[in-house]
Amino acid sequence: MGEKKKKIVKTIKVDLDKCNGCRACEVACSAFHAAPKYSSNNPARSRIRVIHEPLRDVYVPVYAGEYAKAECMGRDKYVIDGKEYDECSFCRASCPSRDLFKEPDSALPLKCDMCEDDPPQEKPLCVQWCLNDALTYEEREEEVEEEVKQEDVERGLDSMIDKYGLDKVMDTVTRMALSKKG
Amino acid sequence: MRYAETGFNLEIDLTRGSIERVESDPRLTELHLGGLGTNAKILWDRVPADVEPFSPDNLLIFATGLLCGTPAPGANRTIISTYSPQTLFMGYSMMGGFLAPELKYAGYDKVIFRGKSPNLVYLWINNDKVEIRDASHLRGKGAVETAELIRQELKEPKAQVAAIGLAGENRVYMASIEQGRSSASRLGLGAVMGDKGLKAIAVRGTKDVNVAKPAEFMQLCNEVLQYIKVRAPNLIPEVMPILAGLGSPQEMAHVDEKWHTENFMWGNARTRRKEFWTKEIEEKWKDALETVRTRLISCYNCPMKCGAIISAPGVSTYMMKCFTKLTYTMAAFVDDLDFGFKIAQRATEYGVDGFSMPQAMAFGFELKEAGILTEADFAGCPSDNEGKFYWLLDRIVRREGIGDVLANGTYWAAKQIGKGAEAYAHNVIKKHEQLPLKLGMLNPIYFLMYSTGEKMNITQIEGNFPQAPFSTMELREAFVKDWVQAPNDKFKKYVLDWEFRGERSMPFYPPVEACCEIVDWQEKMHHIDDALGLCAGLSSFPLKPPYHIHNLPTLISAATGIDMDEDGLTQIFNRNRTLVRAINVRRGLRRADEKPPEDHWKKRFPELEAQLLDGYYKFKGWNHEGIPTKESLHELGLDYVAEDFLQRGILTDNEGTPSKETSAETKKK
């Protein structure tokens, strides 16, 4: 059995219906992450952006997630309650397909860090500045078992054997094991 | 490094097609802050007094306020200044929205236009890249439509766009400049933009805006937000619902329009409908509002939701705020609010002022009923109230037939029509249409604000002091208890002592001196907002706002690094306020122009009114004619104004006796 570990899961709940499109979240985020802290602000550097198209009533605050080297092969389009959202509206990636979540001067990717800081903030700044509660912060503790399941390893090896044959896989594993030891 | 501001203006010569980036003098920031203050300075310095609004020499200035683009909540106002075709005075109108912060992020404090473009163009500012682009394909397009087309054409969905519609292109005197959910509507600035051949300005900026004392500044911003959280839901009793909280009048949120519909005048600011607000109307109007209103929306970095996305059946979606919801409905005597939302959509695309336009139309129809305008003038006009307003709106915006005359606003149209039409243009101050409000007893505070205001628009002058006494002592005491915004305890006493009846009631209470202080304070707050780019809805307009005279100096210091205290800020206000007056005095403004409409109140007190005006002029350091004296100009560091006045004979060395008694009223257009 694996070890049980406690993990804090930080969540920002985004209520699209409550967003009034003011972009205070962008202001607070970029000010917090300026160096020195709060010395400047610039929404283009913000790790949260409000994708908004007032005439279509589209208001989507999105957080910067992982950097993606390449564009997706296809694009998603969501229709929710009859309202169509643009491609990539809900995507958090900093990727080549759009200019979101990149430093405007260096083009380096940006990523939300939940304002983890010393001393810690009670909530991320964007949540603190969202007086309309479109953004709310939730923290919960989860117990996770950290274990490597035997069947997962077997499933992976099975497919390798299917493809390359048992002998080849065994040869390779043996050689790799020897060279690692050596 | 410059803090809060960028330190650069764009100078655009539309005649030559030239673009320059010019560094501004940091000393001007210390003297005038920014926004309206520095706009006034530029107009005084660079536009001679005799320049016509539609002259290539007139400037059209799009300015950000000093705090726009910093994290200060609600610092998002664009202050546009020029000479108004309607009043011929300095016209300054403002809008919230998203343009001003974007301009700061692009690296500019102001965009200053001069000259006239031979073809219709628009300006595209993308950080350091600025270009004048052809707009001939946008001719005749709606203001909202234009913004969308430009964003598509530039492939820049994040660009902020301010544009004129057909009204501005045709130099209609009440043409506005529209920017999505906001508009600079009053005083015909859109007409000047159209005259310059400028269809729109589009901006995209991705640079930093810096502040001088980061931690302190952010702390102050947080305090403002915390205060809003507490104050906004805590409504002040006895104050009409749309004004009891914070923000600009909450017309998009509230259904209850009893106060407006029964106290404001219908038609051409004449008819009061005292029993209008019935249960049935309330339900109908509630339904109309809730059907079309998709979402309540804000301006940049502001938690208040004063605007709304409006999708009325059969017309394209647009955005609305404040009072336009009612002005067309009431001017046209239509009992159905749905009409208001639909005609406002067309009016927004045309780009017109939601106050002046309905009034000009109602004025036109009144002249027809009076036989001053004829059936021939209205040939083809439908007979129903809704239809005829659509018909006339189309004519005015296209300047066709009678529409060409009415497009100049009620004051100039009446002059042109003659035959007694002037008596029907009864609701103007300084040639500008006012709220359709007619009341009983003279309110001495409002008398002064209406008379002396140079924004020509009461909602941009009034604010922090209650509009009427509270009915009981308990309410008064409760009001003053946590009234931290009052400049000093004297103001609390005025509120405590103010009664509906008896000795301490209007028009003789508050006394003249108190009225001067109250008006000066309210005007001060507006002027500070207009220099900083703060929305009045968080500052000078509502009762007990988050920004006030006691916390603004620290905020300015933290943002800019300039040493500032209340006295210093008051001095800047006096300087800016006086400079606006000086510009207008140089263009002919005199005491005779400073009067509310004759019929604004039923009960008038000529003697008291003269005392009020005298008292206020004295309080401000102006002479009997309302002209700033040499001494007061000197105190404000405005000796160059005094010299100019002496040279022109507006002031003489023999102080207090003006040599010229001309009034702008009598000046020919």
DSSP string across B278-343:
-HHHHHHHHHHHHHHEEEEE--TT-----EEEE--TTS--EEEETTHHHHHHHHTT---HHHHHHH
Helix (H, G, I), strand (E, B) or coil at B524: helix
| Buried-state track B638-659, b at ≥16 Cβ within 10 A, e below 16 | beebbebbeeeebbeeeeeebe
Q: Supply the CATH classification number for the domain B8-204.
A: 3.60.9.10
CA A158 from chain centre, in angstroms, equals: 32
Predicted pLDDT at B227: 98
Q: Mean of the pLDDT values across residues B50-66?
A: 98
B26 φ/ψ angles, rounded to the nearest 5 degrees: -60, -20
* Closest chain B residue by Cα to residue A58: B295
Class of domain B439-648: mainly alpha
pLDDT in tens, B201-215: 999 999 999 999 999
Q: CA-based angle A79:A83:A89, to the nearest 5?
A: 65
Q: What is the pLDDT of residue A3?
A: 73
Q: In chain B, list all ranges with CATH 1.10.599.
A: 439-648
Residues of A in contact with B218 (CB under 8 A): 31, 38
First to last CA, chain A: 31
So what's the pLDDT on residue A138? 95
The band of A119, judged by pLDDT with boundaries at 50, 70 and 90, is: confident
Pick from A138-152, B93-107, B531-545: least confident: A138-152
Q: State what percent of residues in chain B have pLDDT above 70.
A: 98
B662, pLDDT greater than 70: no
Q: Where are the domains of chain A?
A: 3-145, 150-181
The total of other beta-carbon atoms located within 10 Å of residue B9's CB is: 22
Q: How far apart are CA B29 and CA A47, in angstroms?
A: 32
Residues of B in contact with A56 (CB under 8 A): 317
Question: Helix B337-350 crosses helix B385-398 at what angle (to 10 degrees)?
Answer: 10
**How far is Cα B488 from Cα B491, in angstroms, rounded to an integer?**
6
CA geometry: angle B562, B79, B50, nearest 5 deg: 105
Q: Is any Cβ of chain A less than 8 angstroms from the Cβ of B225?
A: yes
pLDDT score of B669: 42
The alpha-carbon gap from B211 to the nearest alpha carbon of chain A, in Å, equals 6
Q: Please tell me what DSSP assigns to residue B266.
A: B
- Chain A residue with Cα closest to B144: A55
Closest of A156, A121, A134 to residue A51, by C-alpha:
A134
Q: Can you give chain A as a three-state secondary structure string?
A: CCEEEEEEEEEEEECHHHCCCCCHHHHHHHHHCCCCCCCEECHHHCCEEEEEEHHHCEEEEEECCCECCCCCCCCCCCEECCEECCCCCCCCCECCCCCCCECCCCCCECCCCCCCCCCCCCCCHHHHHCCCCCEEEEEEEEEEEECCCHHHHHHHHHHHHHHHCHHHHHHHHHHHHHHHHC
pLDDT > 70? residue B666: no
What would the two tokens of residue B228 be? 């809003």
CB atoms within 10 A of CB B539: 26
Instruction: State which amino acid sits at residue B101.
Output: P
B226 in contact with chain A, both atoms CB, cutoff 8 A: no
Chain A residues lying within 8 Å of B70, measured CB to CB? 41
- Taking the C-alpha atoms of residue B487 and residue B518, their distance in angstroms, rounded to an integer, is 10
All CATH 1.10.569.10 domain ranges in chain B, comma separated: 232-431
CATH, range B232-431? 1.10.569.10
* Per-residue tokens: B491: 């103001």
Please give the pLDDT value at position B458. Answer: 87
Task: Give the dihedral sign, CA B592/B597/B599/B605.
Answer: negative
CA–CA separation, A98 and B327 (whole Å): 43
Q: Phi, psi (5° rounding) for residue B452?
A: -100, -10
Q: What is the pLDDT of residues B438-465, one digit of tens each?
A: 999 999 999 999 999 998 888 888 999 9
Residue B561 structure tokens: 């690094």
- At B516 the three-state DSSP class reads helix
- CA–CA separation, B576 vs B63, rounded Å? 15
- Mark B456-490 as b/e (b = at least 16 C-beta within 10 Å): bbbbbbbbbbbeebbeeeeebeebbeebebbbeee
Q: Are A76 and A88 in contact (CB under 8 A)?
A: yes
Residues in chain B: 669
- Please tell me the distance from the alpha carbon of residue B112 to that of residue B356, in angstroms, as a whole number: 26
Is pTM beyond 0.90 here? yes
Query: Measured between alpha carbons, how far is residue B317 from residues B41, B88, B306, B341, B346 in Å?
Result: 39, 35, 17, 10, 10
B144 touches chain A (CB under 8 A): yes
Evaluate whether B553 touches B564 at the Cβ level (below 8 Å): yes
Query: Given A39, A42, A54, which is nearest B105 (Cβ)?
Result: A42
Q: Given CB atoms, is B126 within the 8 Å cutoff of chain A?
A: no
In chain B, positions 150-169, which contact chain A (CB-CB < 8 Å)?
A: 157
- Place B663 in a pLDDT band, splitting at 50, 70 and 90: low
CA distances from B404 to B168, B415, B518 (A): 13, 13, 41
Read off the pLDDT of each residue in B58-76 and give the average, rounded to a whole number: 98
Tell me phi and psi for residue B183, to 5 degrees.
-155, 145
Residues B129-148: tens digit of each pLDDT: 999 999 999 999 999 999 99
Which of B237-251, B266-280, B593-607 has the lowest average pLDDT?
B237-251
Q: Chain B partners of A22 at a C-beta cutoff of 8 Å?
A: 298-303
The shortest C-alpha distance from B72 to chain A (Å) reads 9
Question: Counting runs of H as helices and runs of E as strands, what totals does chain B give?
Answer: 24, 20
Other C-beta atoms lying within 10 Å of the C-beta of residue B404:
16
Tell me if residue B220 falls in helix, strand or coil: helix
Q: How confident is the model at residue B398 (pLDDT cuts 50, 70, 90)?
A: very high
Nearest CA to CA, how far is B144 from chain A (Å)? 9
Phi, psi of A161 (to 5 degrees): -65, -40
Q: How far does the CA of residue B296 sit from the closest CA of chain A (Å)?
A: 6
Nearest CA in chain B to A53: B157
Q: Using CA atoms, how far apart are residues B548 and B545, in angstroms rounded to an integer?
A: 7
Query: Which of B158, B68, B148 has the alpha carbon at shortest distance from B107?
Result: B68
Interface test with B, best of A15, A20, A108, A126 (most B CBs within 10 A): A20
Residue B564 is predicted with a pLDDT of 98
The separation between the first and the last C-alpha atoms of chain B, rounded to the nearest angstrom, is 46
Closest CA to A113 of A13, A6, A10, A5: A10
What pLDDT is attached to residue B668? 44
Q: Do A21 and B211 touch (CB under 8 A)?
A: no
Contact criterion met (CB < 8 Å) for B210 and A55: no
Proportion of chain B in helix, strand, coil states, percent, rounded to 5: 45, 15, 40
Q: A132: closest CA among B253, B100, B101, B312?
A: B253
Residues with Cβ within 8 Å of B498's Cβ and at least 6 positions away in sequence, in order, are B466, B469, B470, B476, B504, B505, B509, B510
CA–CA gap between residue A17 and residue B629 (Å, rounded): 56
For residues B541 and B294, what is the distance between their CA atoms, to the nearest angstrom?
26
In terms of Cα–Cα distance, which of B462, B553, B568, B552 is closest to B74?
Answer: B552
Query: Taking each helix axis from N to C terminus, what angle separates B473-481 and B489-497, rounded to the nearest 10 degrees?
Result: 160
Positive or negative, the CA dihedral B341, B347, B351, B357 is negative
User: Distance between CA B75 and CA B93 in Å, rounded?
Assistant: 16
Mean pLDDT of chain B: 95
Among the partner-chain residues A28, A42, A55, the one whose CB lies closest to the CB of B208 is A42
Q: Which residues of A touch B (CB under 8 A)?
A: 20-24, 27-28, 31, 34, 36-45, 53-57, 59, 104, 128-129, 131-132
Would you call B160 helix, strand, or coil by DSSP? strand
Quick check: helix, strand or coil at residue B575?
A: helix
The distance of Cα B300 from the centroid of its chain, to the nearest Å, equals 18
Radius of gyration of chain A measured on its C-alpha atoms: 22
Mean pLDDT check: name the lowest of B32-41, B92-101, B244-253, B471-480: B244-253
Nearby residues of B207 by Cβ (< 8 Å), 6 or more positions away? A42, A44, A104, B105, B106, B107, B127
Rounded distance, CA A49 to CA A135, Å? 12
Which amino acid, one-letter code, is at B125? I
The segment(s) of chain B belonging to CATH 3.60.9.10 are: 8-204
